Structure 1
Amino acid sequence: MIYTVTFNPALDYVIAVDHFTLGKVNRTVQENIFCGGKGINVSALLANLGYASTALGFVAGFTGTEIERGVKELGFSSDFIRVKKGMSRINVKLKSDEESEINGMGPDIQPEDTEALFGKLDRLEQGDVLVLSGSIPAAVGSDIYERIMERLRGRGVRIVVDAEKELLSAVLHLNPFLIKPNNHELGQMFGKELKTEEEIIAHARILKERGAANVLVSMAGDGAVLVDEKGEIHRQGVCRGKVRNSVGAGDSMVAGFLAGYLKTGDYGYALKLGTASGGATAFSDGIGTRERIMELLGQLEENGGN
């Protein structure tokens, strides 16, 4: 079974306004509400590819109820912890001449809520996959990724970590199965700007040496590179299409990579399916559909190898 953890899921209210002006009444020309959160995005894309998963995390209030209802519509199950105080976030994402975001606070998570999450994670066993991704609420503690991975150590659970800088650096010694920084995040981990693919690969190798089994680096318009568990390098160019959406593309790449690897055990194919999945979401208003993913996968396969 695949499990995803979203510590602070949200309802994303995505609106478009022609030429937004501060201090004036602005009217939307387009609006959508999505269940947001990196782990939820991973589960949604996996569902579109036919893979079952269970979403874990914390929800509260009427917005939490809507998130639980929404994930069912997306085609996967959830086992969220119900927090007594506060409410799950509503994040406003404004698309106009520039993109802006206003993110909510989230519920008041207590120590007993965190212990309840640990209780659910204790059920994971050999062969399961756990995806840890996204930011961490202050009440949970910045070491939560480490605590979870220490708790599951030795059980044969493959753990994927998609997080930034310190969060990612702190878990390398616990040997995550996969990490996925983008090229800018990779550079930030070393305090430098990485300008060439050779530099990116060299620094990805360092993260592998520090403990990560597989290091997947997305590079926006320059495609992606993977340093796999055997130290082999895989390269993949981007899909052709018009970018409509910047939310969830990286999460979709993680989900597609996992689906590809679980299906074939082949890292080259996993990278292709991950790239197609990320592209399908980037070219859509929401999470990429199976049809769009398969279309883009065909496009990549027509273009040849890695």
Structure 2
Amino acid sequence: MRILLTGCSGFVGSALGPRLVAEGHELFCVCRPGTSVAFGTTVVWDGAASIEASSFPKTVDVVVHAAQSRRYRDFPADSREMFDVNVGMTMRLLDWAARAAVKHFCLLSSGAVYEPFAAALREDAGLAPPGFLGASKFASEVVAKPFSSILSLSILRLFFPYGPGQRDRLIPQLVRRIRDGGAIQLSGGTEGIRLAPTFIDDIVEVILASIASSWTDTLNVAASETLSIRQISNTIGQQLGLEPKFEIVNPNTPGVDIVPDLSRLASRLDLRRFVQFKEGIQKTISASPVDAPDHRLAESQHR
């Protein structure tokens, strides 16, 4: 197939792109001016301007929209870029896809749409995320859904991707903190937040399956293994040969579970094949030492 991929230099896109090429697809990689990637054919677009048909491939079978704003920590300072990338870029790409007779559009969304995580994280739940990141990702989904009458549309809500090469997200930050001897803060009890870290290879497999079968649904994408921050940190510590330090904060605050319902995904894929965290973090640490400067742990790092 002829596939157009955005976010090619991002964590998910840089893992997905080479797999698409290896499987024999003709890949077109959307890159900002002055940037490029080592796989596929480069298509230059800044994501902000209207798409000129002459600058894009004449025919494309599938679009995988993996691009998202890299600025998401500070509100309202980052809100304009989040909206421009997460919503505006999505709209412009959908408009082009409809005019170009694209057959399938795969939109990568985020578990952040479920904020504040108070109810069951089911795909059919009513959503009103209070944070701007979650709001902008949910808005991109809302914008995309009317196009399902024109092309097949799949929306994949990713939860806590991790793996080799990732930086400035929850898992690599925990690795750095433990290596540096810093304390891991646990909120809402002695275990901290419970979540489902998902290895990048499994996320790629889900995307490939959604393309191959032209899924037409919204699906949560996560591993079925649920771990607390304490359990995650202890597993990282075992791999590093270090004892993590912990600090209990806000002990009277109710604990938060960021654990999605995976019934829809399980009806399509065998979740038992997903990489267990112990194996995934071993691959991550051995493949890519985490040496970037430490940052505060971000609140929304589902994707």
TM-score, normalised with respect to structure 1? 0.39
Higher relative contact order (CA 8 A, sep 6+): 2
